[in-house]
Amino acid sequence: MKKILITGSSGLIGKLIYNNLKSKYSFIGLDKYDTSENNGLKTHLIKSNQIECFSKSLKGIDTVIHLAASISTSSEWNEVLYNNIELTKNIYEASRLNKVSRIIFASSNHAVGNFEIDEPYRSIVKGKYEGIDPKKIKKINHNVSIRPDSYYGISKAFGESTARYYYEHHNIESVCLRIGTVNKENSPLSDIRYFATLLYHEDLIQLIEKSISQENIGFKIFYGVSNNKWNFWDISYSEKILGYKPKRNTENER
Ligand SMILES: NC(=O)c1ccc[n+]([C@@H]2O[C@H](COP(=O)([O-])OP(=O)(O)OC[C@H]3O[C@@H](n4cnc5c(N)ncnc54)[C@H](O)[C@@H]3O)[C@@H](O)[C@H]2O)c1
């Protein structure tokens, strides 16, 4: 059984991964705080973002799912610097020291979020669909230049660069998932933008599982979004490389 460390394991996505995949993998958690909702997950609590605080947790680990971060686009620079930038670099460095072979990095659509100031994305996220044919939307793919929309977006672009560096210099494989929206309700109804951006829990779990199990992945960036009518991120690359087949479409909730 593969041994997997989940950083940020007490958060929304960490709990979803653990609770859905605990029969298939041997998980250990790492977070600032523990939660009773992670029934049975052994969680290492860390007080600082420094390597010596968590290096031991990485012993014997095959894969790290790195989720720990400040997650708001309005996060202040100091918070992002500490929780996202320094922590991510230190997780990669500790992984190198402990010979971890793969990291799944929770990147974000916000690394390219400023595309949403351009048409047709600008109208789509506002739910103004008039005159737009959803089948003809020019999809944003993994090769576009980064266009962060916030300090948070900058930190995710930094994480992707770090992932590439550690692959090309130290041979640690990375799957960077530019996740759309994952919410507790598992529904787009609270924000019109989510009709385009939602990644349903079922599709998230599929994407994570395929990112763990696909052999010889190297360094890759994929978008994490469901099969939504108004999706504007290109998932053909993850369909081709991972065999990702999102099952759900927000349109069915209108
Ligand atoms: N939920 C989404 O819609 C979404 C979209 C795109 C990307 N992501 C990314 O996915 C990851 C998980 O998101 P989530 O929705 O589960 O967020 P969350 O806030 O529910 O969980 C994040 C967890 O990280 C932990 N954490 C933060 N800083 C830490 C530190 N310095 N040391 C240890 N633990 C720390 C928090 O305690 C929390 O448990 C994040 O990296 C986020 O940026 C999420």
Look over the chain and give the mean of its residue pLDDT values, rounded to a whole number. Answer: 97
pTM, two decimals, is 0.98
Residue 215 buriedness (CB in 10 A; 0-12 / 13-18 / 19+): exposed
Q: Which fold has domain 3-253?
A: Rossmann fold (3.40.50)
CA dist list (Å): 251 to 80, 191, 229: 34, 13, 6
- Mean local confidence (pLDDT), 16-40: 91
Ligand 1 centre and the CA of 27: distance in Å?
A: 17
Residue 138 CB neighbours (<10 A): 10
As for ligand 1, residues whose beta carbon falls within 6 Å of it are 8, 10-14, 31-33, 46, 49, 67-69, 71, 83, 87, 106, 108, 179, 181-182
**Which atom of ligand 1 is least distant from the CA of 199?**
3
147 falls in which pLDDT band (50, 70, 90)? Answer: very high
- Extents of the domains making up the chain: 3-253
List, for residues 72-114, the tens digit of each pLDDT value. 999 999 999 999 999 999 999 999 999 999 999 999 999 999 9
Ligand 1 centre and the CA of 4: distance in Å?
A: 17
- State residue 114's pLDDT score: 98
